[in-house]
Structure 1
Amino acid sequence: MRLETKEYIISEADKLFCQFGFKSVTMDDIARQLGISKKTIYQHFTDKNDLVNVLMEARFSNHDCDIKMYAKHGYDAIHEVLLGLDDINEWLITLNPKLFFDMQKYHPDTWLKFMQFKEESLAIGITENMKRGIKEGIYRNDIHIPILTELRLAHTQLIFNEYNAYNKNKYSIPQVMKEMTQHFLFGIVTDKGKIVLEKYINEQLIKQ
């Protein structure tokens, strides 16, 4: 029962954080949302920072598993990317972009773990995807993988760093992510890969 309660707290707190960001949500808010006392929450977490840390570590671990799943089930390297894009966009629809700003400013230990996750799990996934695409003949064999891996990571960082600009111009984060991903793929595909990518776009595997 103790583990179930802890998981319930994490799940409901995650929803609040995604909607409002880390800073705006208090432990009182979480207790009120769950219909439990703060004392019950503190039986599982020492403070809000501990809750944020545990929650994000679980998210990093799940996403690492997802990256491996996309690689396993993708028909090819392009399809692998699109599986990941579709999945993350489902999350981004409900995400307050301030989450990452708040994490960096108010939860530095968690931010460092996020940066480690980005430089390790995400970077490895991107690198392996490009190697796969080259072997399949759908990515150009003259691309500089380390540089493009850093570029792809920078794309993601840019989206969250510039969220105010996107909101002001009426662009949703999923829309920006889709456009950046599509632009990136067209930049590295071969003629064969372009045909594959356009086929997926026509089949609406890249959602609007």
Structure 2
Amino acid sequence: MRAKIIEKASDMFLTLGAKSVTMDDIANELGISKKTIYVHFKNKTKLVEAVVFEVFETVCNGIDCVCNTAENPIEELYQIKVLVMEYLHKKKASPQYQLKKYYPDIYRRLNLKQFEKMHVSIRESLQKGINMGLFRPDLDVDLVSRFYFNGMSGIRDSDYFPHEIFNMEYLMESFLEYHLRAITTEKGLHILNEHLTSNQS
């Protein structure tokens, strides 16, 4: 039952926003009593926490699969973008904004875990790209991985990139191109341009 509660709450939080969804709403959707939810979660904050870190682990597993199967680090970044966009497809709420505003402690801990995961993942990807001759050999891998994390985090901030003006997919596409054009060799740029051309047609 705990897993079912998390799954339903996750869908509702992402669609409607964690702040606006009540424990009653979740119980009604599942056809159970609110008391059943409280057997597993002592309050809504604990449920939000469980949902947030369950989603984080799910996305991390998906990213690991992409990293293990992608043809090269350039395709890897675009496949990860597709994975994230598919997960958020048709979701109307802004989970990052709501967490930051209403559950700042959970947001802070999530941000740290995201950094730990992405910092390692991006460093490995950058080094792989250097070894394949796709990324510049003079890159400061540690620094660039931090630039990348900060940039990806930044474009999700609706204070600076309002959703009424900027579509998230457009933001991610633009940031990836911006990032890759800064670090690719001529060989890497050729692969990037091929990717961009094939996805425009």
Change (3 A) 1:147 1:84: same
Structure 2 distance, partners of 1:160, 1:20, is: 18
TM-score after normalising by structure 1: 0.88
Structure 1 distance, partners of 2:188, 2:179, is: 13
Structure 1 distance, partners of 2:9, 2:32, is: 12
- 1:67 partner letter: I
Q: Is the 8 A contact 2:13 2:93 kept in 1?
A: no
Structure 1 distance, partners of 2:153, 2:17, is: 17
Match of 2:66 among 59, 64, 70: 70
Aligned residue in 1 for 2:140: 144
Aligned residue in 1 for 2:111: 115
Alignment deviations for residues 118-170 of structure 1 (CA, whole Å, 9 cap, x no partner)? 2211111111110110000001111222222122111222122126743232x
RMSD: 2.0
How far did 1:64 drift? 2.3
Structure 2 distance, partners of 1:95, 1:149, is: 28
Identity of aligned residues (%): 27
Q: Establish whether residue 197 from structure 1 lines up as the match of residue 192 from structure 2.
A: yes
Alignment deviations for residues 99-128 of structure 1 (CA, whole Å, 9 cap, x no partner)? 212212332342232122122111111111
Q: Is the 8 A contact 1:93 1:174 kept in 2?
A: no
How far did 1:191 drift? 0.4
Partner of 2:133: helix, strand, or coil?
A: coil
Aligned residue in 2 for 1:127: 123
Pairs aligned (count): 201
Q: Is the 8 A contact 2:59 2:84 kept in 1?
A: no
Aligned residue in 1 for 2:56: 60
Aligned residue in 1 for 2:9: 13
Structure 2 distance, partners of 1:143, 1:195, is: 19
Match of 2:37 among 33, 41, 44: 41
- 1:194 partner letter: L
How far did 1:189 drift? 0.7
Match of 1:162 among 158, 162, 179: 158
Change (3 A) 1:164 1:116: closer
Structure 2 distance, partners of 1:48, 1:164, is: 29
Q: Is the 8 A contact 1:67 1:84 kept in 2?
A: yes
TM-score after normalising by structure 2: 0.91
Q: Is the 8 A contact 2:130 2:136 kept in 1?
A: yes
Partner of 1:203: helix, strand, or coil?
A: helix
Structure 2 distance, partners of 1:165, 1:74, is: 30
How far did 1:97 drift? 5.2
How far did 1:96 drift? 4.1
Gaps of 5+ in 2: none
Gaps of 5+ in 1: none
Match of 2:175 among 172, 180, 185: 180
Q: Is the 8 A contact 2:10 2:51 kept in 1?
A: yes
Q: Is the 8 A contact 1:71 1:80 kept in 2?
A: yes
